[in-house]
């Protein structure tokens, strides 16, 4: 039979463990999406200029949409050399579409296979897929199966497959995102959670991180105020609570600033204050 003293000592040990975990410094990596800036995807020098700007801001890596790099897929050596010379990690190449495959609600294989192969040759570490919500359970099953297949393909190329959400996946208490977490293969499918979209959909982001951090390869961080996008750190997004959850979980993935706006590209006007907020919260990396 357990004595009262043993119970108290056990409780004290658990409390001490929580304090130690909370006190540990974070080991996250800070990155930036290129879509804050207007980019001409036909001109790769324009892409390189934005990547250099991200480096100058002190970030460790960049993410970009596939349209910005696909012109280099057929002759990747020179482009990879130029990216490598800048010295940032290529976090991932992202497929976002206005219309997805009708059956799976993600990019069709002929597209993601081409982007994965081209992105890998340019040094990308992840293939990032966005999607739309299916209409029924059969559709959700097809979507999960499609992500498993995409994950297996990416894995063969040395890439991680990461699913990127928008708000609908977190609607109805996160019904779809929880389903995808359950029904996809943890060895093949990771999640790059857009915490800004999820927060606007009513999600408890710190709680989600504590629960699912082992499946997360990255977080997109954005902010809103009164329903409108605003530079990170100037709105309602619980940045410090998210940092506390990351610290508690001991998570060490990518925290990626994504400053996008409906109908415009804010560029440095949004990225500079966002960068200052991120580096203040996540460590002195400037």
Domains (range + CATH), the chain: 26-282 (3.20.20.150)
Structure-block tokens of residue 85: 């010379």
Residue 168 CA to residue 269 CA, distance in Å, equals: 29
Which pLDDT value is given to residue 9? 38
Give the CA distances from residue 101 to residues 6, 12, 130, 135, 160, in Å, rounded to whole numbers and listed in that order.
58, 53, 11, 13, 21
d(CA 149, CA 60): 30
| Tokens 């790059």, residue located | 192
What is the reported pLDDT for 144?
98
Q: What is the pLDDT, as a whole number, of residue 284?
A: 53
Nearest to 157 by CA among 125, 191, 204, 198: 125
Tokens of 175: 């019904």
Positions of the chain with pLDDT under 70? 1-25, 284-286
pLDDT value at residue 143 = 98
């Amino acid at each position: 039979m357990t004595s009262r003293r043993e119970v108290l000592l056990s409780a004290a040990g658990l409390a001490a463990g929580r304090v130690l975990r909370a006190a540990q410094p974070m080991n996250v990596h800070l990155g930036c999406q290129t879509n804050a800036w207007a980019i001409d995807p036909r001109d790769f020098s324009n892409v390189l200029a934005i990547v250099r700007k991200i480096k100058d801001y002190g970030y460790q890596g960049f993410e970009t949409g596939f349209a910005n790099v696909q012109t280099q897929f057929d002759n990747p050596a020179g482009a990879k050399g130029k990216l490598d010379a800048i010295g940032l990690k290529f976090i991932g190449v992202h497929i976002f579409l206005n219309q997805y495959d009708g059956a799976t609600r993600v990019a069709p294989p002929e597209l993601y296979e081409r982007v994965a192969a081209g992105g890998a040759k340019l040094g990308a570490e992840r293939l990032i897929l966005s999607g739309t919500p299916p209409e029924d359970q059969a559709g959700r099953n097809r979507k999960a199966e499609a992500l498993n297949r995409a994950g297996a393909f990416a894995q063969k190329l040395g890439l991680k497959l990461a699913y990127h959400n928008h708000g609908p996946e977190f609607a109805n208490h996160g019904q779809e995102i929880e389903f995808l977490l359950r029904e996809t293969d943890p060895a093949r499918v990771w999640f790059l959670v857009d915490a800004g979209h999820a927060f606007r959909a009513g999600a408890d982001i710190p709680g989600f991180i504590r629960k699912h951090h082992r499946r997360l390869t990255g977080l997109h961080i954005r902010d809103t105020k009164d329903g409108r996008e605003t530079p990170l750190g100037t709105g309602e997004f619980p940045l410090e609570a998210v940092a506390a959850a990351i610290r508690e979980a001991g998570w060490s993935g990518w925290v990626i600033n994504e400053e996008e706006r409906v109908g415009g590209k804010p560029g440095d006007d949004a990225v500079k204050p966002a960068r200052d907020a991120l580096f203040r919260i996540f460590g002195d990396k400037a």
